[in-house]
Structure 1
Amino acid sequence: MDKGSIRKRKESQNGSTDHTEHTNGTKNVGLVSGICLIVGTMIGSGIFISPKSVLLYSGAVGPCLLIWAACGVLATMGALCYAELGTMITKSGAEYYYLMEAFGPILAYLYSWTTVMVLKPSSFAIITLSFAEYASTPFYSGCTPPPVVTKCLAAAAIFLIVGINCLSVKLARYVQNFFTAAKLLIIVIIVVAGIVLVAQGNTQNLSNTFDGAAPSFGAIGLLTIISFDLLQNLPRAIIIGIPLVAVCYVLVNVSYFTVMTTTELLQSQAVAVTFGDRVLYPVAWIIPLFVVFSTFGTANGSCFTAGRLAYVAAREGHIVKIISYINVKRYTPSPALLFNGIVTVFYIIPADINTLINYFSFAQWVFYGLAALSLIVMRFTRKDLHRPVKVPIVIPVLMVLISCYLVIAPIIDKPELEYLYCTIFIFSGLILYYPFVYRKVKWGHKLMRPITMHLQLLMEAGPPDHIE
């Protein structure tokens, strides 16, 4: 297909020749869809998975609920930091450009490398494994679903979601809108049911809530990481929405405790499913169904953003060039989406959800801390930058200190190999940075050229600058 026909088709279908607009999906994602995308990634699978882990490490109901509330405060502080950074540096790329301006290209590259290879795929894997656990639990009453079933179902969900996003931005938008509505509905059902139960006097599990609580220094850090994992995207959302979502999560946990003791909650294979069995019988099937909808929608939102981050990283020259190409017919970054999906499948093969959460959260908090530190550094090195929003310096200082604690305390309290693996992997990016990014060595160019050509033909993809 020649360039002229591509141009005519594009103009007739969309009335525009701006390839960037179509690649990023900005024209096809309206205001309502944009809100659904943000809400869909704000409220993730954590509220259905993390309560058991948070309770396990906190030791009692009281500290557990306080941790969830504290995460709302932390998210608000983080949002204020990102508000200043985002209005000061308006380039698309967020942390990449913050770190570039404050610390230079090496740290920015390591962020890009880690995000594309670790953070986004592991997040996608966590969500799809959550989806698979809830989807399979009703078929294995009284026992845990076999790991092979869970992982195969998660892999199927990954490829289905990647396929949806490769086919059409509009289709991905409709999927996001529907599953976001389902997610909000199930949370409302759980919260309202909990309020009714409390009004009826079911508060025995909410009395003496601090009995037996003796979390260690490191355990507090680990459970904060676990519970804050579900709030990871909130710094980019509207600041007033963050406390509201945090309150919602606290109320969901209160609802859980109205029908389950701490022992029962810890023994539950799927907390929300157990809640539904006890409260909504004989329509308890509503809970697992809508939780599956919720996690699927979250996974779709994760895939949507991850594919575009890989696309941007490839355009910056941080990974192979083919990933920066787009489909010439559908104008979606299908190579980047497929790449993210394939890497995600490798993450679900050896690991369980808790391992992935530890692996993901450790790396994520390293860069949260560095982003807050970049704000402090640029207060002194880039005084010339316009700051429409300027937060008190104490807030980023606190975020840096909290980030250091959340990274170091769990390692000291309970060293895990995941932390070592993650650290090694982050710095292994330097092996590739010097020859291929800094020196721009074309080693393997002759080998990659035919591979790129065949992949282009297979995926009907080409450089976005050439699709006019």
Structure 2
Amino acid sequence: MAGEGTKGLSMKREIGLIGGIAFVSGTMIGSGIFMSPQFVLGYVGSPGASLVLWAVAGLVAMFAALSYTELGTVIPESGGEFTYILRIYGSCPAFFSAFTTVLVLKPCSAAAMAFSIAEYSTAPFYTECQPPQLLVKSVAAFAILLVAIINVLNVRVAVRVQVVFLVAKVLALAFIVIGSAVAVVQDSSRFVENLETQNSFKGSEISLSSMGMAFYQALWSYAGWYNLNYVYEELKSPEVNLPRAVVIAISMVTGLYLLVNISYLTVMTPRELMSSSAVAVTWGNKVLGSWGWIMSLAAALSAFGSLNGTFFSGGRVCFVAAREGHMPDILAMAHVRRLTPSPALIFTTIISLVVLIPGDFQSIVNYFSFTAWFFYGITLSGLVYLKIKKPELPRPYKVPIVLPILVILAAVFLVLAPIIDKPEIEYLYVTLFILSGALVYVPLIHYKLCPGLLTKLTVFLQLILEVAPADKNL
């Protein structure tokens, strides 16, 4: 609540260590581990190479998250990349980061997860054919609206939902590991054939393009390592809980991902795995038989938890950008009783539903993934700059400078590798879209040409939504 002498509301610090672990790992464990392994294996060509790549991707996520942790303690504000770029490099590059994240990356990611929920939850009812697209999109829209309502109503409920679904998805992955262990005890021939040292790296196909695309697929499954930085102001004892939550969550997820990938290969040949459209469901059909539908349910629940985490953090980016004057004022307000950034969450919901209509968000996410890593690289270059130029800044948590440098090199590779090795016109379209943000930034942000109509609309929405300006919670 707002204290005496403050002009606005402050959102409560509702997220403790358990909630922080749930938001990081719960967002990371989504539909990716149920679908990406076949693509990673397909790009690198061998089980051994795919396992190495999954481990390296986990290491990159850990280094990036620890580097972000230091940034969070140096710049103790919510908003993630937007806030860090704003404080280090200024208003203009920060706006382009927020513009891309709020209008494309977060809504498309949310729509993709909602679509995964819909596909998995309807699959058991359509065993002989594909479910109708109208039904799938309706279920996806319902999932988005349900998550939006949860997040708008209460932060504490959103955190509890994240914890409950994290437990459910960890149990589902543990079930895969245990089920495969039982299968190996019964018949170890497949395990020996796929994972014995002399066989595991046979058929490896390593090239600039294949490595880049394989990393994209693996890192998509680790997406969420940055989530707590978006909600720093709602985290209890952030200087302590942020690094602890990141280390525990990413270590747990990396270990689980490696075990699950090994588990898939104990019951499937590499060819079977690569030809699967949803590898966890294929595993369920082979191991569980008529009970294979359980894995469809597990994947749907997993994607729902990930959608909740993505929505929670995505709304905060929009909220913080508006608070800094980079978006309409109404989006920087919080509900007067519930203390949630409801206008920002409603805006994110609307954009996500619009993206859901054409259904081509997966290709949008693929082409915009390189922009996400571009902004991660810019952000971490800011950390390197602060370490060299401003070592006197208070740092409750520090990482060796080599960590952000390694992640920057990974980001440069992920941005340039697909463009250099396989240039496509879509990358130019993406770049032009981002640059089109200048049409908004120059008149409305830089010159502050704000029409009176927008002020009247803000007051009207403020009354309807029962919201008021929110202050920073530091």
- TM interval, shorter chain, is 0.7 to 0.9
Aligned to 2:242: none
Change (3 A) 1:389 1:273: same
Which amino acid in the other structure matches residue 354 of structure 2?
A: F
Residue deviations 1:274-332 (CA, integer Å, cap 9, x gap) = 21122123433322222211111111111112112211111111111221222334332
Higher mean C-alpha deviation, range 427-436 or range 30-39: 30-39
Alignment pair present for 1:205 and 2:194: yes
Amino acid of the residue matched to residue 388 of structure 2? Answer: F
Q: TM-score, normalised by structure 1?
A: 0.87
Moved more, 421-430 or 289-298: 421-430
Provide the residue aligned with 2:346 in structure 1: 338
Say which SS state the counterpart of residue 392 (structure 2) adopts: coil
* Amino acid of the structure 1 residue aligned with 2:380: A
What is the match of residue 4 of structure 1? none
Cα distance in 1 for residues equivalent to 2:415 and 2:34 = 24
**1:456 paired to 2:462:** yes
| 8 Å Cα contact 1:137/1:270 also seen in 2 | no
Structure 2 residue ranges without an equivalent (≥5): 229-244
Q: Deviations over 1:50-81 (max 9, x none)?
A: 11221222223222222111111212221332
How many angstroms does 1:84 deviate by?
Answer: 2.6
Matched, 1:288 2:279: no
Quick one: which amino acid aligns to residue 465 of structure 2? M
Measured at CA, do residues 34 and 328 of structure 1 come closer, stay the same or move farther in structure 2, by a change above 3 Å?
A: same
The superposition leaves residues 416-449 of structure 1 with CA deviations (integer Å, 9 ceiling, x where unpaired) of 444333322222222222221122112xx23323
1:43 offset after TM fit, Å? 2.1
Match of 1:47 among 33, 36, 47: 33
Greater CA drift, 249-258 or 58-67 = 58-67
Q: Between Structure 1 and Structure 2, how many residues are aligned?
A: 448
- Equivalent residue for 1:36, pick from 10, 22, 40: 22
1:109 paired to 2:78: no
Percentage identity across aligned positions?
A: 44
- Letter of the structure 1 residue corresponding to residue 300 of structure 2: V
CA contact (8 A) 1:180 1:294 kept: yes
SS in 1 for 2:423: coil
- Residues 108 and 362, structure 2, Cα contact 8 Å, conserved in 1: no
User: What is the alpha-carbon distance in structure 2 between the residues aligned to residue 62 and residue 152 of structure 1?
Assistant: 40
Amino acid across the alignment from 2:194 = N
Aligned equivalent of 2:59: 73
Residue 410 (str. 1) matches residue 428 (str. 2): no
Give the structure 2 partner of residue 64 of structure 1. Answer: 50
The answer on whether the counterparts of 1:355 and 1:418 sit within 8 Å (CA) in structure 2 is no
Between the aligned partners of 2:211 and 2:402, the Cα distance in structure 1 is 23
Q: CA deviation at 1:365?
A: 0.5
Q: Displacement of 1:263 after TM fit?
A: 2.7
Q: Deviations over 1:207-231 (max 9, x none)?
A: 5233332242112111101211221
Partner residue of 2:121? 135
Q: TM-score, normalised by structure 2?
A: 0.86
Determine which of 322, 327, 330 is the counterpart of 1:319.
327
Q: What SS does the aligned partner of 1:213 have?
A: coil
Matched, 1:254 2:262: yes
Q: Which one of 85, 97, 112 corresponds to residue 126 of structure 1?
A: 112
Q: Give the deviation of 1:142 after TM superposition.
A: 4.2
Corresponding letter in the other structure for 1:162:
A
For 1:372 and 1:147, locate their aligned partners in 2 and report how far apart those are by CA, in whole Å: 41
Name segments (4+ residues, structure 1) moved above 6 Å.
none
Question: Among residues 423, 434, 442, which one is paired with 2:431 in the alignment?
Answer: 423
Match of 1:373 in 2: 381
| Alpha-carbon shift at residue 249 of structure 1 (Å) | 0.3
Residue 100 (structure 1) shift: 2.8
Q: Could you tell me how far apart the structure 1 residues matched to 2:407 and 2:131 are? A: 39
The corresponding residue for 2:166 is 180
Corresponding residue of 2:392: 384
In the alignment, does 2:203 pair up with 1:226?
A: no
Residue 43 of structure 1 aligns with an amino acid whose one-letter code is: I
Deviation by residue 1:383-425 (Cα, 9 ceiling, x = unmatched): 3313344433333222222111111111222334443333222
> What one-letter code is carried by the residue in structure 2 that aligns with 1:239?
V
Of stretches 49-58 and 378-387 in structure 1, the one that deviates more from structure 2 is: 378-387
Which position in structure 2 is the counterpart of 1:399?
A: 407
> Helix, strand or coil: the match of 2:201?
coil
Structure 2: distance between partners of 1:53 and 1:357: 16
> Aligned partners of 2:49 and 2:26: how far apart in 1?
27
Work out whether 1:196 is the aligned partner of 2:204. no
Q: 1:328 to 1:375 in 2, by over 3 A?
A: closer
Displacement of 1:160 in angstroms is 1.6
Structure 1 residue 437 corresponds to structure 2 residue 456: no
Aligned residue identity for 1:274: T
Partner of residue 149, structure 1: 135
